[in-house]
Amino acid sequence: MPFDQELLSLPHGPEFRFLSEMIALERGVSGSASYTITGDEPFLKGHFPEQPMWPGVIMIESIAQLGGVIAQSDPAHPTLDDMRLTSVRNAKILGTAFPGTVLTIEATVEGRMGNLIQVKGTVSDADTKIAEATIMLSGT
């Protein structure tokens, strides 16, 4: 995809990157990405043995990662160093996902104040929303 270069703005190593491919990006405003659960992710061995299930906190992390990509792509603002997830509000885990699932992550920047960025996002399996959250990112 043409936006895959944007994934390099994430501070995470590939082992902790939960966006496989960018689907769309409106710089500084919104975007969508996908992640395919392979079943080879090491933490799935313990979550849960015999029936690996994608953790809800990782769904929230994927919203934060996409929010970071969107925020860092904003041409009206300089990029922030050391961007981190600093708060989670209104998080709801509405469903489950298993190995083989292709997740769609969508996020929108709702507001910026200095080095604080509020993002609202969802995670879906096909057309079914399985997580949503409003998160705050910050950087220096």
**Which residues are catalytic, by number?**
47
Rounded Cα gap, residues 30 and 119, in angstroms = 9
Rounded Cα gap, residues 30 and 86, in angstroms = 19
Q: What are phi and psi of 68, to 5 degrees?
A: -65, -40
Rg (CA), the chain: 14
